[in-house]
Structure 1
Amino acid sequence: MRNIFSPIKKLINTEFVNKIDISDVTFSVFDTETTGLNYNSGDKIISVSGVKVQNFQIDTEGKLDEFCDPMIEITPENEQIHHISNRMVRGKPNIYDLESKFRGFFKRSVLVAHNVKFDCNFLISNLSHTKLESRIREAVKLDTVLFSAGVYPDLKSYELSALCDELNITHHDQLRHSSLGDSIITARLFIHLLKKSKAQNIKEILNISKFGQKVLLNKTINN
């Protein structure tokens, strides 16, 4: 396959993603697990995982799957959600030690996650003043919550497991609320949405997400 990234070097902009054949774009589908939900209150990332999607296929050979020591305690309540204990992360590299590895995984790709703003805000906060912070801020991002709402505007729930059940996407073979398991499930959902868009001859997938944002806003207003 020709190297479509050579003329654009490091950055992939929105116009490029909307115009290029989607089968030629590399997507980094990822997920994080954290000590809590509020990075502004000092919550930290404890796990980052991801897989690549290209040409409607998941590439797990180059997967990312890392624990990192948050240097703070994981509460029992949060451990019940993601099943990551203090023992599992103690002594692991801190997130700054992993910054270059994360940056290598994300380079020259569109970032995809289920509620991508949450994961990106944690990476930006936890890795402030690094090259990865700049990379995350500048990157084209795609939220599978909004993408799903744009393709399927009449669904009642856009929670990841509910979406997979509704759309007959396999997910019970992966551990939910683990960063790797959720990355793989999100990648399967993402491929389903890409194929659905292609079947409907819709090429500008970022515009579908903008429509999905309006769908969710209308649902919030009307409920």
Structure 2
Amino acid sequence: MVLDTETTGLDPTLHRIVDISLVEVSRNGIRPLYQTLVNPQQTIPPEASEVHHITDRQVKDKPTWEEVWPTVLTHIQDAVLVAHNAKFDRSFLPETHRPWICSYRLARHLWPEAQKHTNQYLRYWLGLELDADMAHSAAGDTFVTAHVFWQELLTYRKRMAQSDQVEELIAYAASRIPITTMPFGKHKGKPLEDVPIDYIQWALKNREDMEDDLYAALQECWVSYTTNRGRVV
């Protein structure tokens, strides 16, 4: 089941959900299940409205999250949950005790040649002809992500000898993404082995927003450097 949320901000300790959508993906196809705006019981900052275009006026008479969550649970039941950047959506939800798949990570594993892996970019990169014009609304994003995920499943099955084991798919999506080039800064696009070690050391110490996969790759570069230097000495 594909899930998406829109929120009042990025910090789940401070901000609340204002929109949630669920779309079922099964052998029978793709089917919208549930969508609702949510009264966050706090002001929606203009920075958030700029992204999803939801305002205080639109949500003032909508149900609160405490009223919405039981309905969401009835739809989730025993489903595997899928989200594009699942770490974000999962951080805003109560514990579901269900497995998650991040379709963003899955796309990076399956299609490393794509220049970007946002759901809207992949929509056009994959040539999907979709009537989904509500980018950055929960309903629009889940609709697009559901179709992207369907293509991911087809690609995964072709590469993994028709594997239908959902546990293997979950593990594959969660596994470390190989990173071979520097994705930011003055050395962007340069192979990691050619990036000066002092820059790698700086990045490890100062980039708090770094993805775990990149951190691990840079850490390996640092360990390799210090190990080789020790051998020379």
Please tell me the TM-score bracket, short chain as reference: 0.7 to 0.9
Check if 1:108 corresponds to 2:81.
no
- Counterpart in 1 of 2:128? 169
Deviation at 1:171, TM superposition (A): 4.6
Please tell me whether the aligned partners of residues 32 and 179 of structure 1 are also in contact (alpha carbons under 8 angstroms): yes
Q: Please give the residue correspondences for 1:63-142 in structure 2 after superposition, counting only pairs within 5 Å.
A: 63-124=33-94, 133=95, 136=96, 138-142=97-101
Task: State the distance in 1 between where 2:69 and 2:10 align.
Answer: 21
Q: Please give the residue correspondences for 1:1-223 in structure 2 after superposition, counting only pairs within 5 Å.
A: 28-40=1-13, 42-55=14-27, 57-60=29-32, 63-124=33-94, 133=95, 136=96, 138-171=97-130, 173-200=132-159, 201-203=161-163, 204-211=168-175, 213-215=176-178, 217-218=213-214, 221=217
Q: TM-score, normalised by structure 2?
A: 0.71
Describe the shift of the 1:113–1:195 C-alpha distance in structure 2 as closer, same or farther (beyond 3 A): same
Task: State the distance in 2 between where 1:175 and 1:166 align.
Answer: 18
User: Structure 1, residues 118-141: CA drift from partner, whole Å, max 9, x if none?
Assistant: 1111012xxxxxxxx3xx2x2110
Largest Rg, 1 or 2:
2
Runs of 4+ in 1 over 3 A off after TM superposition: 218-222
RMSD (Å), alpha carbons: 2.0
Whose relative contact order is higher, 1 or 2, with alpha carbons under 8 Å and at least 6 apart?
A: 1
Describe the shift of the 1:199–1:219 C-alpha distance in structure 2 as closer, same or farther (beyond 3 A): farther
Q: TM-score, normalised by structure 1?
A: 0.74
Please tell me whether the aligned partners of residues 132 and 143 of structure 2 are also in contact (alpha carbons under 8 angstroms): no
**Structure 1: gaps (5+ residues):** 1-27, 125-132
Q: 1:52 corresponds to which letter in structure 2?
A: E
Deviation at 1:221, TM superposition (A): 4.4
Please tell me whether the aligned partners of residues 161 and 171 of structure 1 are also in contact (alpha carbons under 8 angstroms): no
Please tell me whether the aligned partners of residues 113 and 186 of structure 1 are also in contact (alpha carbons under 8 angstroms): yes
Describe the shift of the 1:56–1:146 C-alpha distance in structure 2 as closer, same or farther (beyond 3 A): farther
Length, aligned pairs only:
180
Task: State the distance in 2 between where 1:202 and 1:193 align.
Answer: 13
